[in-house]
Amino acid sequence: MKPAPKTSGRPAPRQAVVSLEPKTITIPSVLTLKELAEKMGISGAELVKALIKKGQMIGINNEIPYSLAADIALNYNVIAEEQVEIDIFEDTFGEAPEDESLKIMRPPVVVVMGHVDHGKTSLLDAIRDAAVTKAEHGGITQHIGAYQTSINNKPITFLDTPGHEAFTAMRMRGAQVTDIAVLVVAADDGVMPQTIEAISHAKEAGVEIIVAINKIDKPSANPDRVKQELTEYGLVTEEWGGETICAPVSAKMREGIDHLLEMIILVAEMKELKANPDKRARGVIIEAHLDRGRGPVATVLVQEGTLEVGDHIVSGATYGRVRALIDATGKRVKKAGPSTPVEILGLPDVPGAGDMFYVAKDEKQARMVADTTYAKSRYEMNKNVQKVSLGDLFNQIQAGKVKELNVIIKADVQGSVEALRTSLEKLSNEQVKIKTILGNVGAVTESDVSLASASNAIIIGFNVRPEAAAKAMAEEQNVDIRMYRVIYSAIEDIEHAMKGLLDPVFEERVLGKAEIRQIFKASGIGNIGGSYILDGKFIRNASVRIIRDGIVVFEGGLESLRRFKDDVREVNAGYECGLVFHRFNDIKTGDIVEAFVMEEIKR
Ligand code: GDP
């Protein structure tokens, strides 16, 4: 805790005749100073001032953690109890860790990612076609956002939306959906910007990566070059003693598909993916839309338990009864177990993609949860979701929200990316680690913003601009994008924010004292305090406080500091000067003015 300066201006509490029973309030784990003041029943401004006097620089809109709030409140004879936040879903559907013996192996859930035109769609098609041929359906499968295939009678679930946008959108809502990411890299093109992005997305999500080196049918294919390039991103192929499986394929010629699927099963078996099928289902909404003929349609991925026709489900603020289940081949089914994608018909409205869904024990429970979520989401909507930002880094650290500062670097040339990455990462210290989750060449795109949003990262752009859509998205999602033209400024900015991270201790240093001896009225300016500097000195941009009869009547800044008619930067003891205060006019002769600065004490 910061030492209280000698000049604590808060008068000692008067001896109250009435009961000294402390007041008790309930506060959330994080709140703004303003919210705390309101709960305590005092003015926010007063609280800020009192804290400044104690050397604590906390703005009225800054968020503070419960522990600090409780300390502050105690000084006012208020006991602050921490409010227990209830997650209605956790509360209703949360369960104790399950007996492992109840769980059985489940199919892996796989997503396909990679650079544009490297063959993601072709690969997904090739896999789907192979499944259709094998099952002798003869027909075409419909696109419902996911499908299942199998190899050696072992099923695999593929999310049918190529690219990492969908994947990241789900993660942003906290849904951990995929087990394995197939990274498609064209053998004739090698590692490209979106390949690197995909690697970052997968790594951030802790998802296993299997590389599919595609287009090996092309004469210009050079799989070894791809493997070589991937090593730079920490993916070292097994052949070279690493742990990454690289499977050569040709989506076009349908070559190597079975081998790739076998590799997926191999990785899945190592991961021992299991779930209990004998309980009420829960899972994720993969895709949802309004179908003209069928009403709201949602494709869901069952993650645990078994979903059945007739179940009452709830997802976000939507609840309803499952009227029909349709699998990825278009067949109506009665139930769907773990890792199975199915379409649900029967919901009254369209749930949000990426949201979890749960089967409730009855309609009443489903409605209760949905109604609570509805009320809460309206409340949350009014409250801005707080993301990490340089300006507020220090407070967020205090609130225990950031221990690692994730950054995304976008620059005009690779050399700058590397320079920034090394310099920034060097700023890491014991309290905060700086981690570059993505660094590449190019403008700041929507994909960067969505990764930043999902990973709570800030974006640093060097000699690049954000795309308009990315900028809009960043504003909407409160992602901090910083643009620089000089590498040094970027480093300096972060370094400054980091100083905040180092728990800065501010101490007040009084510069000088003056007495107001005469008051002049000036039109357009207000009252000018004709003053005499008693000791020390006054400087133009110092903070000042006016003390009248031992009570601080104003604390703030100087509007101007003058000698005769001239604005001056400083006035020393023994001289006269004119003081105009920032937004404060109510001065009196005899007032004592103290000039001070808040100084950061370096550790
Ligand atoms: P996506 O953007 O990653 O989904 O890529 P697409 O699947 O749309 O494929 C981009 C282009 O590459 C298309 O013209 C495909 O026909 C072609 N392509 C995809 N896979 C292969 C392959 O294995 N060999 C060859 N020669 N071309 C391929």
Q: Is 316 in the pocket of ligand 1 (CB under 6 A)?
A: no
- Return the HEC string of 370-417: HHHHHHHHHHHHHCCCCCCCHHHHHHHHHCCCCCEEEEEEEECCHHHH
pTM given for the model:
0.59
- Give residue 112 CA to ligand 1 midpoint distance, Å: 13
Instruction: Tell me the pLDDT of the chain averaged across its residues.
Output: 83
Closest residue to atom 22 of ligand 1, CA basis: 215
User: Is the distance from the beta carbon of residue 200 to the nearest atom of ligand 1 less than 6 Å?
Assistant: no
Location of structure tokens 């990241």:
168
Mean pLDDT of 47-57: 80
pLDDT of residue 157: 94
Instruction: Grade residue 301 by pLDDT with cuts at 50, 70 and 90.
Output: very high
Ligand 1 centre from 140 Cα, in Å? 20
pLDDT of residue 376: 65
- Residue 378: its pLDDT value, please? 54
**Structure confidence by residue, pLDDT tens digits, 136-182:** 444 445 667 788 899 999 999 998 775 555 566 666 555 578 899 99
| Core vs surface per residue 114-139: b (16+ CB within 10 A) or e | bbeebbbbbbbebbbebbbeeeeeee
pLDDT at residue 20 in the model:
63
Alpha carbon of 253 to ligand 1 centroid (Å): 11
Taking 60 as the threshold, does the pLDDT of residue 476 lie above it? yes
Token pair for 64: 């503070």
pLDDT given at position 219: 96
Q: What does the angle CA 407 – CA 409 – CA 412 come to, to the nearest 5 degrees?
A: 170
Q: Residue 381: what pLDDT?
A: 46
Which residue has a Cα nearest atom 11 of ligand 1?
A: 117
Nearest to 560 by CA among 546, 545, 579: 579
The whole-number pLDDT of residue 306 equals 97
The residue whose CA is least distant from atom 18 of ligand 1 is: 119
CB 390 within 8 A of CB 493: yes
Say which residues have a Cβ less than 8 Å from residue 232's Cβ, sequence separation at least 6: 191
pLDDT at 496: 80
Q: How confident is the model at residue 503, as a pLDDT?
A: 41
Half-sphere exposure of 353 (CA within 13 A, CB side): 17
- Token code pair at residue 170: 């789900």
Strands 295-304 and 341-345: antiparallel
Instruction: Show the beta-strand stretches assigned E in 485-581.
Output: 505-522, 526-539, 543-548, 551-563, 566-567, 570-572, 576-581
Ligand 1 atom nearest residue 115's Cα: 3
* CB of 252 closer than 6 angstroms to any ligand 1 atom: yes
What gap in Å lies between CA 402 and CA 398, rounded to an integer? 8
What is the C-alpha to C-alpha distance for residues 120 and 125, in angstroms, rounded to an integer?
9
The Cα–Cα gap between 558 and 565 comes to: 16
> What pLDDT is stored for residue 218 in this prediction?
96
For ligand 1, whether the C-beta of 118 sits within 6 Å is yes
Classify the phi-psi angles of 452: left when phi > 0, otherwise alpha if psi is within -120 to 50, otherwise beta: alpha
Dihedral over Cα of 215, 199, 386, 480: its sign: negative
Question: Is the C-beta atom of 545 inside 6 A of ligand 1?
Answer: no
Tell me if residue 205 falls in helix, strand or coil: helix
- What is the percent of the chain with per-residue pLDDT over 90, rounded to a whole number? 40
In tens, the pLDDT along 176-219 reads 788 999 999 999 999 998 899 889 888 888 889 999 999 999 99
Q: What is the predicted pLDDT for the residue at 490?
A: 86
93 backbone dihedrals φ, ψ, rounded to 5°: -110, -5
pLDDT at 221 over 50: yes
Residue 223 CA to ligand 1 center (angstroms) comes to 16
User: Residue 259 has which token pair?
Assistant: 């081998």
Residue, of 253 and 12, whose pLDDT is higher? 253
- Cα–Cα distance, 217 to 254 (Å, whole number): 10
Q: Ligand 1 in contact with 119 (CB < 6 A)? A: yes
| Cβ of 120 below 6 Å from ligand 1 | yes
254 ligand 1 Cβ < 6 A: no
Helix axes 414-425, 487-501, angle to 10 degrees: 20
Residue 411 CB partners (closer than 8 Å, separation 6+)? 417, 420, 439, 441, 461, 462, 463, 464
Q: Round to whole Å and give the CA distance between 44 and 48.
A: 6
- Cα–Cα distance for residue pair 166/159, rounded to 1 Å: 9
Nearest atom within ligand 1 for CA of residue 214 = 23
Take atom 25 of ligand 1 and give the residue whose Cα is closest.
215
pLDDT on residue 375 = 66
Q: Which helix (H) or strand (E) element contains residue 171?
A: helix 164-172
Question: What is the reported pLDDT for 166?
Answer: 58
Q: How far apart are CA 405 and CA 348, in angstroms?
A: 42
Mutate which of 115, 117, 161, 184 for ligand 1? The one with the most ligand atoms within 8 Å of its CB, which is: 117
Residue range 301-315: mean pLDDT, rounded: 95
In the chain, count H helices and then E strands. 15, 34
What local confidence, expressed as pLDDT, does residue 136 receive?
45
Q: What is the mean pLDDT of residues 568-581?
A: 93
Whole-number pLDDT of residue 377? 60
- What is the 252 CA–ligand 1 centroid distance (Å)? 7
**Please, which pLDDT band fits residue 403 given cuts at 50, 70 and 90?**
confident
Look at ligand 1, atom 14, and give the residue with the nearest C-alpha: 117
Q: How far is the CA of 154 from the centre of ligand 1 (A)?
A: 27
Q: What is the pLDDT of residue 6?
A: 42
Contacts of 241 (CB under 8 A, 6+ apart): none
Rounded to the nearest angstrom, the gap between the alpha carbon of residue 129 and the centroid of all alpha carbons in its chain is: 39
Work out the percent of the chain whose per-residue pLDDT is above 70: 85
Q: How far apart are CA 403 and CA 391, in angstroms?
A: 16
Nearest Cα residue to atom 2 of ligand 1: 117
Nearest-atom index, ligand 1, CA of 184? 3
CA atoms of 239 and 231, how far apart (whole Å): 12
Mean pLDDT is lowest, of 43-47, 122-126, 356-360, 569-573, for 43-47
Centre of ligand 1 to C-alpha 401, Å, is 43
Assign 134 a pLDDT band (cuts: 50, 70, 90): low
pLDDT of residue 353: 77
Which residues, listed in sequence order, are joined to residue 527 by a DSSP beta bridge?
Answer: 521
**CA atoms within 13 A of residue 223's CA, in its CB half-sphere:** 17
In this prediction, residue 382 carries a pLDDT of: 40
For residue 393, how far is its CA from the centre of ligand 1 (angstroms)? 44
The type of residue at 413 is V
Extract the tokens encoding 130: 């192979």
Predicted confidence band of residue 455 (pLDDT cuts 50, 70, 90): confident
Note the pLDDT tens digit of each residue in 69-100.
888 898 888 888 887 766 777 778 877 777 88
Confidence (pLDDT) at 251: 96
Residue from 489, 451, 453, 447 nearest 466 by CA: 447
Note the pLDDT of residue 502.
42
